[in-house]
A and B are shown apart, each in its own frame.
Chain A
Amino acid sequence: RKEVEQDPGPFNVPEGATVAFNCTYSNSASQSFFWYRQDCRKEPKLLMSVYSSGNEDGRFTAQLNRASQYISLLIRDSKLSDSATYLCVVNSGGYQKVTFGIGTKLQVIP
């Protein structure tokens, strides 16, 4: 089993839709979790951290479910500019234990 698993998609959604991605992780000792956004042929950029209590930033909500070992990203009122690949990042302690998922591709359609 991979340490971090994501559905690669693509998720094709119309503008204004709500879309959610999940990311599962295998190491129950994982300590911190993040979502990064990567535009086509660009570098990854931090989108938001994921806390046990949940984290909301505008139209984006990230949540952590430790019992089931997954994190989620919810995007409300999708915009064309949200089209990108969303990378899940899990840290199990130390830089050698920072694991990136393969990413979920989102395409928002007019």
Chain B
Amino acid sequence: DAGITQSPRYKITETGRQVTLMCHQTWSHSYMFWYRQDLGHGLRLIYYSAAADITDKGEVPDGYVVSRSKTENFPLTLESATRSQTSVYFCASSESWGTGYGYTFGSGTRLTVV
């Protein structure tokens, strides 16, 4: 089915390990985003991408790395996981620029760092 899928849905990892969260969309949307959601905070932008091979930092990029070699994939890597990175991570895509309208979110990855 067309849509945006994230994997894994749940992940438990140890401090210091590298973790990659996957995001795949089938609409060929140009724009893709990674957000994290924590209690007491709204969704916060980690990284975004305007097209393949074009990425930029958001509000909270430290400790994360992204790549986008293909339009449909936008993986997020935690280079050395820390407990403060325990969160729910949402990937989103959009076909338009500069607006909150039309964001479609994946179902999220619940990451726990122990």
Contact = CB atoms under 8 A, between A and B. Distances in A.
Q: Answer yes or no: do A and B interact.
A: yes
B75 interface: no
Interface in B39-55: 40-45, 48
A67 B107 CA distance: 36
A95 B45 contact: yes
Interface string B20-60: 00000000000101010000111111001000000010110
Interface in B94-109: 97-103, 105-108
A36 B59 CA distance: 20
Contact of B97 (A49, A95, A100, A103): A95
Interface of B: 31, 33, 35, 40-45, 48, 56, 58-59, 90, 97-103, 105-108
Contact of A100 (B43, B99, B108): B43
Interface residues of A, number: 24
A94 B100 contact: no
A100 B43 CA distance: 6
Interface in A18-66: 32, 34, 36, 42-46, 49
Contacts, number: 57
Contacts of B56: 96
A91 B103 CA distance: 12
B42 A95 contact: no
Given A46-B103, A87-B42, A100-B42, A93 B90 contact: no
Contacts of A102: 40-42
B40 to A, nearest CB: 6
A108 interface: no
Contacts of B103: 36, 44, 46
A48 B110 CA distance: 27
B31 to A, nearest CB: 7
A32 B101 contact: yes
A42 B42 contact: no
A43 B105 contact: yes
Given A95-B45, A102-B40, A102-B42, A46 B101 contact: yes
